Amino acid sequence: MRLEQWIEYTEEVKEAKRLGKPIVALESTIISHGMPYPQNVNTARDVEQIIRDHGAVPATIGIINGKIKIGLTRDELEFFAVSQEIEKVSRRDLPYILTMNKNGATTVAATMICAKMAGIDIFVTGGIGGVHLEGENTLDISADLTELAQTNVAVVCAGAKSILDIERTLEYLETRGVPVIGYKTDDFPAFYTRTSGFKVDYRIDTPNQMATLIKTKWELGLHGGLVIANPVPEEDAMEESKVQEAIDTALEQAKIKGIKGKKVTPFLLNKVKELTGGISLQTNIALVKHNAEAGAKIAVALNKLSG
Ligand code: PSU
Ligand code: MN
């Protein structure tokens, strides 16, 4: 049993690990299944640069030919952006994808798992999965939530889209002991908008305090991750009524088409994107970049505390 045989690092990440530099993990589902080309690859590269500019090293995570890549080269980022043969990989998919030497874009859950294997504590993404609407009947609850309950990685995000039942998502996180911390906000954000109608558990205003809270949780032996909720900047936020209209239509179409299982989230994300046109894409890009800046600062602070 050798874990290392499944993992490959880029030179940049290998060097960062050797020197004990702060590292920030990034997911690849957002590239392969979350945005159109070429905005997906441009955003991925910009986000990596923002992390470097704030003193941390980016490690975008994905699976190529059955190997977990911690850090992707320019060409590999391009591959994830254009290839149609990339599976969406969550916890349950990992063993099969590696066994069969396939390519996979990692979800929040799978990226957390791989980040942990690589010793990376901070992970930046756009939005997390959650309890789906009518999830109390379908039991469609994203594996992102169970991962947050058990894997020691802090996830910086802009909340969760209201394609989900945000109230039940927050209830589930509470049940599983996952802290939901607002970064400079009292509200749990809803991805495209700064508010969701629900509050975060606690608010923290500085990277240093956020890093201290993360360290405290793990020092106490309280396993699992944290949700660090960083709302989209005011000037990039969308109008609430516009978002809701698109989401309602998307949900209706998913129902008519009988979309189920792992296809639900990509279907809804795609439809919302279609229905809101370029605006939602601009918002999406802006919030991920904003999260990268916050995540890098928190990673730098955590690195100092631990160093
Ligand atoms: N929510 C978003 N954008 C995304 C996803 C969710 O706003 O890109 C992706 C993430 O990779 C997340 C996954 O981990 O969808 C959740 O899928 P599911 O609901 O099937 O667990
Ligand atoms: Mn699901």
Beta bridge partners of 63: 68, 104
- Distance, CA of 286 to CA of 27 (rounded, Å): 16
Q: Which residues lie closer than 8 Å to 116 by C-beta, 6 or more apart? A: 151, 152, 153
CA of 90, closest atom in ligand 1? 21
- Distance, CA of 173 to CA of 154 (rounded, Å): 14
27 Cβ inside 6 Å of ligand 1: yes
Q: Which 8-state DSSP code applies to residue 193?
A: B
**Model confidence band, residue 17 (pLDDT cutoffs 50, 70, 90):** very high
Residue 189 DSSP SS3: coil
Angle, vertex CA 221, rays to CA 209 and CA 51, nearest 5: 40
Catalytic residue among 69, 161, 271, 297: 161
- Alpha carbons within 13 A on the beta-carbon side of 213: 23
Parallel, antiparallel, or unpaired for β 226-229 and 180-183? Answer: parallel
Mean of the per-residue pLDDT values of the chain? 97
161 is catalytic: yes
Catalytic residue among 27, 78, 87, 147: 27
Closest of 87, 45, 95, 82 to residue 266, by C-alpha: 87
Sign, CA torsion 192/195/199/200: positive
> Residue 307 has what pLDDT?
73
Residue 138 DSSP SS3: helix
Name residue, tokens 């129902």: 255
pLDDT tens readout for residues 162-174: 999 999 999 999 9
Name residue, tokens 């809101």: 276
pLDDT tens readout for residues 35-45: 999 999 999 99
Q: Which 8-state DSSP code applies to residue 158?
A: S
Above 70 in pLDDT, residue 1?
no
pLDDT tens readout for residues 166-219: 999 999 999 999 999 999 999 999 999 999 999 999 999 999 999 999 999 999
Buried-state track 36-48, b at ≥16 Cβ within 10 A, e below 16: eeebbbebbbebb
> Residue 277 has what pLDDT?
81
> Residue 81 has what pLDDT?
98
Above 90 in pLDDT, residue 278?
no
CA of 142, closest atom in ligand 1? 21
pLDDT tens readout for residues 111-165: 999 999 999 999 999 999 999 999 999 999 999 999 999 999 999 999 999 999 9
Element (H, E) at 88: strand 87-89
Let me know: does 40 contact 31? Beta carbons within 8 Å: yes
pTM of the entire predicted model: 0.98
Q: Rounding to the nearest 10 degrees, give the CA dihedral for residues 39, 41, 43, 46.
A: -140
| List of domains in the chain | 3-306 (3.40.1790.10)
87 Cβ inside 6 Å of ligand 1: no
